[in-house]
Amino acid sequence: MKRRTGSGFDAFMSYSHARDRDLAPLLQREVERFATPWYRLRSSRIFRDNANLAASSALWESIEEGLSASKWFILLASPLAAASPWVDKEVGWWLANRSPRRLVIGLTDGEFASADGVSADVLPPALRAIPFTEPRWVDLRPLREAEEIGRRAPRFVDAVADLAAAVREVPKDDLVGAHLRYHRRAMRLFIVGVLGLVVLLATSTVAAVVAVEQRNTAQVQTMNATSRQLVAQAARMEDTQPDLARQLLAEAYRLSPSTQVVGALLNSAKLPVVFPAPGLSRGVVFSPKRDILAIAGDFGVKLQDLNLPRSVAALEGSKSTSAVAFSPDDHLLATGGSDGTVRLFDVQRPESAKLVLRAPIANGGVGVLAFDPRAPVLLVLGGGVLSVLDIADPGKPRLVVQRPDFGGSDAAMALSHDARHLASSGKDSTVNLWDFSDPANPVLASSINGHSNGVTALAFSPDDGTLASGSLDDTARLWNVADPRHAVPYSTMAGPSLGISAVAYAPDGKTLATGAGDGTISLWNVSDPFRVRQQAVLPGHTDGVRVLAFTSDSRYLASGSTDGAAGDQAVGKDNSTVRVWPVAGAVRSAAMAQLPVGTFGPAFSPDGRTLAAGFPTTLWDLRDGARPARLSSVTTFNQGGQTSAFSPDGQVLATGVPALLWDVTDRGKPRSLTPEGRQEDGAKTALFSPDGKVLALAGYVTPLQLWTVSGGKPKLAGEIRRDAVGEGDVAFSPDSSLVTVAAREGLTIWNIRDLAHPERMSTITTSAGIKSAVFAGDSKTLVTGDSAGTVTVWRLSPGSPAQLVSSSSRHGGTVRSLSVYPAGHLLASADDNGSVLVWDITDPAHVDEVADLATGGHRGGQDIAFSPDGRVLAAVGESITTLWNTDAAGILGRNCAVSRPISENDWNHYLPDLPFDPPCE
């Protein structure tokens, strides 16, 4: 079609803004673009009036110019347009200056024709006088509905074609044909363009995805590298700055919760908790029944919650409190000051402790306080004078006796646990032993010579048969004082060059702690007092250790030092710290709890809340993992004991050979389901298959028995002969189709789909006998432990020999037990020397040790197991069951609770590329 030339308009559009303000601009645009090639903006120009504009001479001049420049007049007729003075004025001008034949009417509302002719309701007055024989008009009334308006609505397109044909003076059919041709051509070009854009977009998207993946990979690699670096830095400072080490581990886990970080978190439980003291700390003592530590010093006395880095209460005291002691019933706390004043506090509610006694007792400072466990008696040593107080009425103490010349002003003193003997340091490097049977009349039993310098610390063993003494001559000595009148030396322990300033016996009697003037603490295994072994050194204090104290369960050791450091940041020289160290025997420990049962187990209930272990088989409530509660015991075979296993639903406990079943729905009252059963052997192995259909039991003299259990009734379904069993471990494959038996000839693998006829599939042999096995992840990956301390990963293939994938020889003894973490990425192994190692088995070809967990030297058959919920790892030794917290979230929560948040300066030092964002806030 020809394009209009010139600067005029093809048409002038007049309409009522009130009626057709939406339709008019749409018609204008579509009429202008109808039958227009895609590369042109429009094929005609239409001047559109706005009938609602305010009247002014300048406005009319603009409208008149538009009318003068237009070839056609388009009137959108309606009753509202007929009533508009502006529309009438525009029509009047057109009729006066142009031909009526160039006027086109588009009826948008009302009726155009009636029986009498053209309706006057829709025409402005200026147009009513013009005779219309055949008016040129287009019916636009169907476009009132929204769905009829649009470029693709047929009625709308037809109306646009009528108006465009009139103003362009082209037959409608020709114009419509041209419109369709241009539309098809535009669509072809559009499709080609879209395809091109799609290809371009796909190319750019792929490139963007690759770039994003590369960026994300780089970010992950950076976070992993930073996480590994933080773990290494935390390891270097775990003794000197344990609070900061915990904070760095928390951030390492947040950056990348890798197995390496998880292993470091498992070990972090052995870090000491640091309590800063504003002045010199002179005494520490644990509550005998609660998680409370009393710290005495220049600041008075603080009662400290062991689970949180905050004080429970600050007690009224002298400016300098030099001694502190809890009563055996945990109701009273005694404090002694440098002014010789003794105070007694009622601490049954420690947050609101009440002062019940304040009395000047000693002429000099109080050096030692001790309660007599036999009677309400308090011993006070100070200024070389021993005072014995009757505190039956704590508010009105009665002085029983005062004994002068009881050592020097800084004399050490220890009261035996049965309160029958008392040891004190003499003025000439001697130790005096007193018969204290009658507190009113202490009698000197003997004096011990052996040290070459002043005696600074004394402690009786829990059985009172041994006395430990520490001296400025850099030694600690053990003395046999079973007969106080004839004390005999046991052994001597050499210490650092600055002297031994503190000694403390663990309540289990197997461990002695010594503190030295150089700030080090040594843990000694004194199970055999003739052959004492130093098993651990606890560094961290930077100045002399003044006091030491164990908790009643021997699992924590408190140390007070004048090391001038509060937490991780150095403060004034007159300040000090108290550290609480987790220990197990004479080694540091990350254990959460220890149970006084061993030898057999452990067996977890499916929900991980109950543990069966020990001899006799005992059920423990683990809902509070740090404080397990004994629930009940079941009858145990009296020859060698037994292991046990929970059924998959947790309602049945299986023990013994033949199978004995217990209903443990009520954990506190187990009920026998097999009362008619007669146990012939203790179960060395008890294990349900993963699908719960098979119970495997192996005794000491019986074959490996395969039982089915239905309705609480066991039925023997098959056996694996005795000569193929030996003394090793038994393991089911995850699909329950295979069972492995560590036998004398090697590890045998049996197909048990037919329980009555187990079929040997293959045998794995090694130079060292295989003693334990477990499947890892699937039925094709097997891990074994042997008598040489080697952990080996094998790949199983049907019909082919097992393929060795990797191995590691980190154990120093026979690997007796293996357990896989429920998520499958960690493996725990235990040997008969008491060592427990945790491995990363994410890549079976590269098995890496991530944690070394101490059991406190408790040797024995070391059975080990993860709880099904992954929160606890349990190891059973000869007399102790050790529990570790393996819940990373729980460990992080405790680490954050017991350590101060990282400072911004430390953050900027260790994480300079990351914005300050403490992980524990």
Contact residues for 866 (Cβ-Cβ < 8 A; gap 6+): 604, 819, 820, 821, 822, 826, 828, 872, 873, 886
Cβ atoms of 450 and 403 within 8 Å: the answer is: no
**CA dist., res. 894 & res. 213, Å (int):** 36
CATH: 3.30.2350.10, 2.60.40.1180, 2.130.10.10, 3.40.30.10. Which one for 275-407?
2.130.10.10
How much is the pLDDT for 567? Answer: 41
How much is the pLDDT for 337? Answer: 85
pLDDT in tens, 115-125: 455 566 888 88
User: Residue for token digits 């005694």?
Assistant: 334
Question: Domain 9-170: which topology?
Answer: Rossmann fold (3.40.50)
Distances (CA, A) of 64 to 9, 92, 394: 12, 11, 114
DSSP class of residue 55 equals P
Listed residue (604, 609, 612, 606) closest to 624, CA to CA:
609
- Read off the tokens for 327: 């009563």
How much is the pLDDT for 607? Answer: 93
Taking each helix axis from N to C end, the angle separating 888-897 and 259-268, rounded to the nearest 10 degrees, works out to: 50
How much is the pLDDT for 162? Answer: 87
Cβ atoms of 540 and 240 within 8 Å: the answer is: yes
Residue segments in the chain with a per-residue pLDDT below the cut of 70: 1-7, 49-58, 112-120, 131-135, 144-152, 309-310, 317-319, 407-410, 564-574, 637-641, 676-683, 700-701, 722-728, 856-862
Number of H helices, E strands in the chain: 12, 66
How much is the pLDDT for 1? Answer: 46
Query: Of all helices (H) and strands (E), which one includes residue 889?
Result: helix 888-897
CA 680 to mean position of chain CA atoms? 46
pLDDT in tens, 339-357: 888 999 999 998 889 999 8
Q: Using omega within 30 degrees of 0 as the cis cutoff, is the peptide bond preceding 690 cis?
A: no
Give residue 120's identity as a one-letter amino acid code. A
Query: What residue spans in the chain does CATH classification 2.130.10.10 cover?
Result: 275-407, 412-566+574-588, 592-886
CA 142 to mean position of chain CA atoms? 69
How much is the pLDDT for 565? Answer: 45
Q: Are strands 618-621 and 413-415 parallel, antiparallel or unpaired?
A: unpaired
Task: Read off the pTM.
Answer: 0.73
Phi and psi torsions of 907, nearest 5°: -60, -50
Angle CA(626)–CA(630)–CA(636) in degrees, nearest 5?
130
Coil/strand/helix, residue 767: coil
Q: Which residues of 54-88 are buried (b: 16+ CB within 10 A; e: fewer)?
A: eeeeeeeeebeebbeebbbbbbbbbbbbbebebbb
How much is the pLDDT for 157? Answer: 85
Q: Are strands 685-688 and 466-471 parallel, antiparallel or unpaired?
A: unpaired
- Read off the tokens for 89: 């004025």
Listed residue (75, 84, 12) closest to 44, CA to CA:
12
- Read off the tokens for 544: 């002399």
How much is the pLDDT for 101? Answer: 86
Query: What residue spans in the chain does CATH classification 3.40.50.10140 cover?
Result: 9-170
For 592-886, CATH gives 2.130.10.10
Range list of β-strands (E), 383-498: 385-390, 398-403, 413-415, 421-425, 431-435, 443-448, 455-460, 466-471, 475-480, 488-494
How much is the pLDDT for 419? Answer: 83
Question: Read out DSSP for 817-832?
Answer: EEEE-TTSSEEEEEET
Cβ neighbours, 10 Å, residue 497: 9
pLDDT in tens, 47-65: 986 643 444 556 788 888 8
Classify the C-alpha dihedral 542-545-549-553 as positive or negative.
Answer: positive
**CA dist., res. 684 & res. 152, Å (int):** 85
Cβ atoms of 143 and 53 within 8 Å: the answer is: no
Question: Read out DSSP for 831-844?
Answer: ETTSEEEEEE-SST
**CA dist., res. 714 & res. 676, Å (int):** 12
- Which runs of consecutive H residues, i.e. helices, occur in 256-344? 259-268
Angle CA(367)–CA(371)–CA(372) in degrees, nearest 5?
130
How much is the pLDDT for 149? Answer: 62
- Architecture of the domain spanning 412-566+574-588: 7 Propeller (2.130)
Cβ neighbours, 10 Å, residue 636: 21
How much is the pLDDT for 857? Answer: 58
User: Residue for token digits 């819940």?
Assistant: 887
Cβ atoms of 266 and 235 within 8 Å: the answer is: no
Contact residues for 218 (Cβ-Cβ < 8 A; gap 6+): none
Q: Which residues of 800-809 are buried (b: 16+ CB within 10 A; e: fewer)?
A: eebeebbebe
